[in-house]
Amino acid sequence: MAVAGKSDKPGKAKGKKKDAESASAKGSGLILAEHPRAARSVARAKAWGGLAGFLIGGYLSLPTQTLAGAGLRALAAGVVCYVAAWAAAIFLWRRMLVAELHQAKQDLLAEELAKFERTRAPMPGGRVGGRTS
Give per-residue pLDDT as tens, 30-72: 788 888 899 999 999 999 999 999 999 999 998 887 888 999 9
Residue 23 belongs to some domain of the structure: no
Residue 125 belongs to some domain of the structure: no
Residue 74 belongs to some domain of the structure: yes
Look at residue 124 and give its three-state secondary structure. Answer: coil
pTM of the model: 0.61
Domain residue limits at 44: 35-117
What confidence score (pLDDT) does residue 10 get? Answer: 54
What confidence score (pLDDT) does residue 33 get? Answer: 84
CA distance 6 to 38: 43
Answer whether residue 132 shows pLDDT above 90: no
Angle at 14 between CA 8 and CA 17, to 5 degrees: 125
Residues 32 and 42: beta-carbon distance below 8 Å: yes
Residue 106 belongs to some domain of the structure: yes
Answer whether residue 107 shows pLDDT above 90: yes
Residue 29 belongs to some domain of the structure: no
Domain total for the chain? 1
